Amino acid sequence: MGSGNCHSLEIPPGKGPHNVGCTDLMMDHTIQGSFLRIYYPCETSVSHEQPAWIPSKEYFSGLADFMKIGRTLGYWSIDYLFGSYKIPAEWNAPFKTGNKYPLIIFSHGLGAFRTLYSAICIEIASRGFIVAAVEHRDESASATYYYKEKTTKNKQVVVPNSSHVSADLEANWLYYRSLKQGELEFPLRNNQVQQRANECIKALHLLTDINKGSIVLNALKLHFDWTKLKGSIDICRTAIMGHSFGGATVIQSLSKEPVFKCGIALDSWMLPLDDDVYSKVNQPILFINSEKFQWVGNILKMKKLDSERIDRKMITIKGTVHQSFPDFTFLTGNWIGKLFKLKGDIDPITAMNLCNRASLAFLQRHLDLHNDFDQWDSLIDGKDENLIPGTNIQLPPEHNTTAQDYSVNK
């Protein structure tokens, strides 16, 4: 399963009862707009077309920059290793009407972008959710883009409909911004986490408008019928998820937007958050951590969210690394996976199943869903041979008594 020779490497498809489609939405072509990859329950389409996992070559360059390997070598290596993979979802397939689906907003980690968590997003969509993965424009993505008006000299006669975007616009790429020499990290990251939270909230508002029947002007001229989503999104059942920097984005977003009923933070990196944010979060949170990434200071920040009255849970998946959550973990053989810390000691499918099932059980509990996800309730308390309740990190004595509180605190 997913390890050994490269022919067996693939992103796992969803296991739920729904077929999953996906499409992209760029609403307002400018840098202030929203850019989302949407995963949703779909009708079976005729074409069965699956989108490329990495959507265009500029993302190869962005990943090379982020990993601090030269663009030429990096581009070639990433193209060679990952260029041919597809996402197991049907591109622009017709939306499946007739239900009201809960909504999940998903926030990616540092150096990632909207497509790199497709295994998580597809599994959740296959269980009857709409999942909107935001591509952040705070210079924390390895690459992203928006459109600018062409200057007069660049304007050429273009046949209408010959491309995915209006003839008067040109793509402007925005690459990952590293820390400058001597620059303090907190001010940059705190500004970014504020912008990221605003982008998640903007995505929520955009989908709320689409649910009300607003006209969608997608800057990407894709063939997708957005009118089918009218009345199909259960806005009262909305949650937010994210990995790493996206985990901090979950906390920041919960503090600003009460429409989010709960949050799931995957191996959160807590540095970007201001100390005053913790007291402003009133929703339940599930922290799902890897065994190898966390450290005392980071866990102590998570524990500032401990509560007697609000459901706050923490579990750790044994044998996992920080990159056990994005799709890379499925797409690298053991040797490269271990070398670049893209794979832990646990089978990636086993780890991902635990992460997704605990998430679904938590979502059922706090979005008041009537599915069968409560069959996995015990995972929220860390009850599995591959789980640790709370954290594996040895905390200072005054905190040790609370390390297990997560497993009994309802």
3-class DSSP assignment, residue 27: strand
| pTM: predicted TM-score of the whole model, two decimal places | 0.93
CA dihedral 238, 35, 200, 247 (to 10 degrees): 100
Q: Are 205 and 105 in contact (CB under 8 A)?
A: no
Of residues 399 and 77, more confidence is placed in 77
Q: What pLDDT was estimated at residue 339?
A: 82
What is the number of other CB atoms lying within 10 angstroms of the CB of residue 68?
8
Segment 325-351 mean pLDDT: 92
Annotated catalytic residue: which of 138, 234, 267, 405? 267
By CB neighbour count within 10 A (0-12 exposed, 13-18 middle, 19+ buried), where does 307 fall?
middle
Q: Considering only CA atoms, which of 321, 331, 320 is closest in space to residue 83? A: 331
Q: Give the whole-angstrom CA distance, residue 70 versus residue 353.
A: 35
Class at the top of the CATH hierarchy for domain 6-408: alpha beta
Q: Considering only CA atoms, which of 219, 276, 235 is closest in space to residue 252? A: 276
Structural tokens at position 236: 């009262």
pLDDT bin (cut points 50, 70, 90) of residue 184 is: very high
Q: Give the whole-angstrom CA distance, residue 80 versus residue 69.
A: 15
Annotated catalytic residue: which of 29, 108, 136, 322? 322
Q: Are 25 and 33 in contact (CB under 8 A)?
A: no
Segment 248-264 mean pLDDT: 98
Length of the chain: 410
Give residue-wise pLDDT tens across range 195-244.
Answer: 999 999 999 999 999 999 999 999 998 999 999 999 999 999 999 999 99
Q: Considering only CA atoms, which of 175, 115, 102 is closest in space to residue 141? A: 175
Q: Is the pLDDT at 5 greater than 80, yes or no?
A: no
Q: Give the whole-angstrom CA distance, residue 404 versus residue 237.
A: 29
Give residue-wise pLDDT tens across range 90-149.
Answer: 999 999 999 999 999 999 999 999 999 999 999 999 999 999 999 999 999 999 999 999
Average pLDDT of the chain to the nearest whole number: 92
Segment 400-407 mean pLDDT: 43
Q: Give the whole-angstrom CA distance, residue 304 versus residue 341.
A: 29
Give residue-wise pLDDT tens across range 261-281.
Answer: 999 999 999 999 999 999 999
Return the amino acid letter for 68.
Answer: K
* 322 given a catalytic annotation: yes
Q: Is the pLDDT at 44 greater than 90, yes or no?
A: no
* 244 given a catalytic annotation: yes
* 223 given a catalytic annotation: no
Q: What is the DSSP letter of 390?
A: S
Annotated catalytic residue: which of 61, 244, 255, 359? 244
Residues in a beta bridge with 266: 243, 288
Q: Is the pLDDT at 402 greater than 60, yes or no?
A: no
